[in-house]
Amino acid sequence: MKKITYVTRRAQFSAAHRLHNPEFSDEENRRIYDKCNNPSGHGHNYDVEVTVVGETDSDTGMVIDLKILKRLLNDYVIEKLDHKHLNHDVDFMSGIIPTAENIAIKIWEQLKPHITSGTLHCVKLYESQNNYVEYRGE
């Protein structure tokens, strides 16, 4: 009988960002985003966890080859975000306010087309040890 398992790979990137909506007034931006609206930006060590769900292959004992998941996460996410400024340096974040919510959604969109074994289930993004978000494609 086939068994469903959830397989998660974790990685880390360090990036700068600034929360600022150009359609808000400066005063609204400061009120809504507070310290996160600092004009020169600030930064985080982000931890990202990607979960794939599927049947465990009876020959290999795996849902997805973790080497491949590690490589996809590295090539489509870490390489593009690590040691970057999320407002200026990342093609797929262009025009997006880099809240943790939006970064998680964009990481999902980056990875989704490449997960061909199992199904992408969740992207979890830690902005700090006290803040994290999850996006499950809903």
Q: Which residues bind its own copies (CB under 8 A)?
A: 3-12, 14-17, 19, 21, 23-24, 32, 34-36, 38, 40-45, 56, 59-63, 65-67, 82-85, 87-89, 96-102, 104-105, 128-136, 138
The minimum distance between CB 6 and its own copies, in angstroms, equals: 4
Encoded amino acid at 66, one letter: L
Strand partners, 85: 16
The minimum distance between CB 53 and its own copies, in angstroms, equals: 9
Tokens of 69: 């998941």
Q: Choose between 109 and 114: whose C-beta lies nearer to its own copies.
A: 109
Q: Choose between 99 and 119: whose C-beta lies nearer to its own copies.
A: 99
Counting every residue written for the chain, the total comes to 138
The minimum distance between CB 58 and its own copies, in angstroms, equals: 10
Catalytic residue (one of 36, 49, 109, 121): 36
The minimum distance between CB 114 and its own copies, in angstroms, equals: 19
Based on the residue annotation, tell me whether 122 is a catalytic residue of this protein: no
Based on the residue annotation, tell me whether 121 is a catalytic residue of this protein: no
Rounded Cα distance, 71 and 42, in Å: 28
SS3 sequence, 85-115?
ECCCCCHHHCCCCCCHHHHHHHHHHHHHHHC
Rounded Cα distance, 4 and 77, in Å: 26
Rounded Cα distance, 114 and 124, in Å: 18
Q: Choose between 96 and 114: whose C-beta lies nearer to its own copies.
A: 96
Query: Catalytic residues, which ones?
Result: 36, 83, 127
